[in-house]
Amino acid sequence: MRPSILRRLLRRVASTAALALVAATLSTVGAAPPAAAAGGLQQVTGFGSNPGNLQMYEYAPAGLPANAPLVIALHGCTQTANDYYTNSGWPKYADLWGFAVVFPQTTSANNALSCFGWFDPAKDTRGKGEAASIVQMVEHAKQSHGSDARRVYVTGLSAGGGMTADLLAAYPDVFAGGSVASGLPAQCATSQAAASGCQTGPQKLTPAQWGDKVRGSYPGYSGPWPRVAIWQGTSDYTVYPANATALRDQWTDVWGIGQTPSSTDTLPGNTTRSTYNDASGKPAVQTYSVSGMGHGLAVNPGSGTEQCGSTAAYFLNTICSTYFTGVFWGLDQGAPGGGQLPAPSGLQVTGVTANSASLSWNAVPEAASYAVYRNGTKVASPTATTYTDTGLKAGTAYRYAVAAVDGSGTSGTTSPQVTATTTGSVPAQCFTATNYAHVTARRAHTTGGYVYANGSNEKMGLYNVFVTHTLKESPAGYFVLADSGCTT
């Protein structure tokens, strides 16, 4: 392309298909490639024929044992490998749990704003371009570090998230799992002109049609399939939340497990996690909806085990997505020193009143104390195997889980949740919001692109932010349309 044509194209980028995703991470334009710091991020050359013209950087903890996992982490548009290394939190868990991380980097030579080509079949399909270069990096890292070929994972933000989904579809024989952060379904777009339509609201396809895009990326492959985490902010107006729904539909269909979650719980940072289990009861797909978060990667700076990262442009302080992604993949189970304490068994509700709930569980050997979580938030640290939670609302359901804590203060694996419903009744409540907000707040659900009230199952129209309804809740968890007026 002649320079004059490229300049005109960039001046018109506000109306082009790829603006939303490109502009979203426009915080480091012109940033220099990362310097290789001793003991930190290191550039690797000669990793293969490199058909996608990428650069390879990696971080490997000192003394990394053989057969450790390997993670591939893809930056967003205009970012560098160093940005992702510095702000995402992956080096912290590489040190804590023992694995290597590869940070591929694309440049303006490939794309004017250094975006991975998630919408270009010459770059994102099996054996082609950038996708092929990334797989060459995987092979090089496996040989250099003796990484376990059965535990290779890929994650990415925004355009890197779109490329992550494409890699999972094109190379399910390479990647055991993936995590798509503010990204797009696999093969959502096959040209830059179609990219904007994906970002603001992907095609209205059935789960089977979305699944076919994965199955068509490596014809004849029948499994096993990667386990996929999907992270999305509810206030993301660059890559709209509908993409998370499409990703959920796509990968649950590939797994053949349907779109009804096996469980739903609440995590820190106003995050709702929905888990879709495979036939054996193991999580195959998880969605993490971060209420109020815009476009970016969820981080939570701090020194706690569940805290990570640094806030920066498009690294947003809500929850450490890297920690929960790593636990979902099982990276914590391979930690040096034997990993975490097991989850307490036998958690049960032993009694409720109008304002309290009592719990008990079985002891875990070597536990110094326990962490009790209510609706995903830690509320107590008892040393006994019983706890009574007080100050609750009448007639309300609360979800509880427990984890054992060792002598160093490290929490182990969290138990399955139980639900305690306090006695008494709660007054009727009315909520006026968009259909999208009702679904996010779990007052309604989606089926086939339409929204239905939880409980009454009344149809509310299309799943978007342009349709508004009033819902009345009575009893708790049962919602009816009350557009003509709502009295409590």
- Quote the CA–CA distance of 108 and 67 in Å, as a whole number: 35
> What is the pLDDT tens value at each position of the chain, 488 positions in all?
443 433 443 334 333 334 334 333 333 333 333 333 336 999 999 999 999 999 999 999 988 888 899 999 999 998 999 999 999 999 999 999 999 999 999 988 999 989 999 999 999 999 999 999 999 999 999 999 999 999 999 999 999 999 999 999 999 999 999 999 999 999 999 998 899 889 988 788 999 999 999 999 999 998 899 999 999 999 999 999 999 999 999 999 999 999 999 999 999 999 999 999 998 888 999 999 999 999 999 999 999 889 999 999 999 999 999 999 999 999 987 544 334 678 899 999 999 999 999 999 999 988 999 999 887 678 999 999 999 999 998 888 888 888 898 887 777 777 877 889 899 876 788 999 999 888 878 898 877 778 899 889 899 999 887 899 999 987 777 899 999 888 77
Rg (Cα) of the chain, in Å, rounded?
23
CATH number of the domain encompassing residue 116: 3.40.50.1820
Catalytic residue among 88, 158, 274, 321: 158
158 is catalytic: yes
Domain final residue, candidates 393, 421, 449: 421
Own/partner contacts of 4-13, CB < 8 Å, gap of 24 or more, are 6/112, 9/112, 10/112
3-state secondary structure labels for all residues of 83-113: HHHHHCCHHHHHHHHHCEEEEEECCCCCCCC
Do 74 and 137 fall into the same domain? yes
For residue 96, tell me if it sits in a domain: yes
Residues whose CB is less than 8 angstroms from the CB of residue 278 and which lie 6 or more positions away in sequence, other chains included: 255, 257, 284
**Total of domains in the chain:** 3
User: Is the distance from CB of 52 to CB of 133 less than 8 angstroms?
Assistant: yes
Q: Residue 279's CB: how many other CB atoms inside 10 A? A: 9
Record the tokens describing residue 16, joined without a space: 């082009």
Do 241 and 294 fall into the same domain? yes
Assess whether the previous peptide bond of 475 is cis (omega < 30° from 0): yes
pTM over 0.85: no
User: Is the distance from CB of 306 to CB of 332 less than 8 angstroms?
Assistant: no
For residue 125, tell me if it sits in a domain: yes
Label the pairing between strands 152-157 and 70-74. parallel
For residue 158, tell me if it sits in a domain: yes
Do 271 and 287 fall into the same domain? yes
Do 329 and 366 fall into the same domain? no
Do 281 and 176 fall into the same domain? yes
Do 271 and 393 fall into the same domain? no
Do 128 and 264 fall into the same domain? yes
Record the tokens describing residue 5, joined without a space: 């044509």
For residue 487, tell me if it sits in a domain: no
Do 330 and 378 fall into the same domain? no
Q: Name which of 378, 369, 339, 361 is nearest 415 in CA terms.
A: 361
Domain final residue, candidates 304, 334, 364: 334
Range of the domain at 250: 3-334
For residue 134, tell me if it sits in a domain: yes
| Dihedral, CA of residue 235, residue 156, residue 214 and residue 237, to nearest 10 | 20
- Quote the CA–CA distance of 287 and 166 in Å, as a whole number: 18
Amino acid at the residue 206: T
Do 327 and 461 fall into the same domain? no
